[in-house]
């Protein structure tokens, strides 16, 4: 990718296809050309060893930006459960261990919460987004939350991660039950991007 083409593109520093798809949909109305780091197999995976969502998002953005000489967006998100002291937190994607997947993570979550009453299953999703320029300097950083409660049984098949168990009380539905177009309006990711997008568009137009 040459410098001229790089200035017109934003690389999403994630190989999670569902997450990248959500981000692509959020950016679509702004006509930003989006690529996934998964489109560039030579770029090494970023080790997410930061102690906060912000640190991991910034690291992913900067690593991919410098590797591809392009603006890049790093996003780190997860579930924080009050009764578990904020866990799984930054370890949400690997909550159940080295071979973690959505099913195993949700099974572990339910096991940890089996003796917790419904009224004490409060939780929130958090999303931190960082945007780096081609030299690895983070130019934008935003964070947002979406609060809800963890159900005992899965509801719905949409979304990914803990979505079928994450209930939004005021709607009476889990993220798994929402249509994607609705989730794009109310989720933690949607809220973070709502803050980010006007500033991101302004930055990219200056390139």
The set of catalytic residues is 76
Instruction: Please list, in sequence order, all residues whose beta carbon lies within 8 angstroms of the beta carbon of residue 21, skipping any fewer than 6 positions away.
Output: none
In angstroms, the CA 136 to CA 75 distance is 15
- The tokens for 20 are 């990248």
The verdict on whether residue 161 carries a ligand-binding annotation is yes
The verdict on whether residue 183 carries a ligand-binding annotation is yes
The verdict on whether residue 17 carries a ligand-binding annotation is yes
The verdict on whether residue 121 carries a ligand-binding annotation is no
In angstroms, the CA 33 to CA 89 distance is 31
In angstroms, the CA 186 to CA 184 distance is 6
- The tokens for 165 are 């168990």
The verdict on whether residue 24 carries a ligand-binding annotation is no
The verdict on whether residue 16 carries a ligand-binding annotation is yes
**Using an 8 Å Cβ cutoff, are 11 and 68 in contact?**
yes
The verdict on whether residue 77 carries a ligand-binding annotation is yes
In angstroms, the CA 160 to CA 167 distance is 14
The verdict on whether residue 163 carries a ligand-binding annotation is yes
The verdict on whether residue 5 carries a ligand-binding annotation is no
- Under DSSP, is residue 26 helix (H, G, I), strand (E, B) or coil? helix
In angstroms, the CA 19 to CA 12 distance is 10
Cβ atoms within 10 Å, residue 134: 19
Binding residues for Mg(2+) are 76
Binding residues are 14-19, 76-77, 160-163, 183, 188-189
Binding residues for substrate are 14-19, 77, 160-163, 183, 188-189
């Amino acid at each position: 990718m040459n410098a001229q083409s790089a200035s017109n593109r934003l690389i999403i520093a994630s190989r999670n296809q569902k997450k990248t798809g959500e981000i692509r949909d959020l950016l679509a109305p702004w006509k930003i050309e989006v690529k996934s780091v998964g489109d560039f197999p030579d770029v090494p995976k970023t080790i997410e060893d930061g102690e906060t969502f912000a640190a991991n998002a910034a690291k992913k953005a900067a690593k991919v930006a410098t590797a591809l000489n392009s603006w890049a967006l790093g996003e780190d998100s997860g579930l924080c459960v009050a009764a578990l002291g904020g866990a799984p937190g930054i370890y949400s994607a690997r909550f159940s261990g080295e071979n973690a997947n959505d099913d195993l993570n949700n099974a572990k979550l339910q096991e940890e919460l089996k003796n917790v009453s419904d009224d004490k299953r409060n939780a929130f999703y958090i999303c931190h987004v960082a945007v780096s320029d081609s030299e690895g300097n983070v130019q934008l950083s935003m964070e947002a939350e979406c609060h809800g409660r963890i159900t005992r049984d899965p509801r719905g098949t949409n979304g990914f991660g803990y979505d079928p168990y994450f209930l939004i009380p005021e709607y009476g539905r889990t993220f798994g039950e929402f249509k994607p177009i609705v989730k794009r309006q109310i989720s933690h990711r949607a809220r973070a991007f709502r803050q980010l997008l006007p500033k991101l568009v302004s930055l990219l137009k200056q390139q």
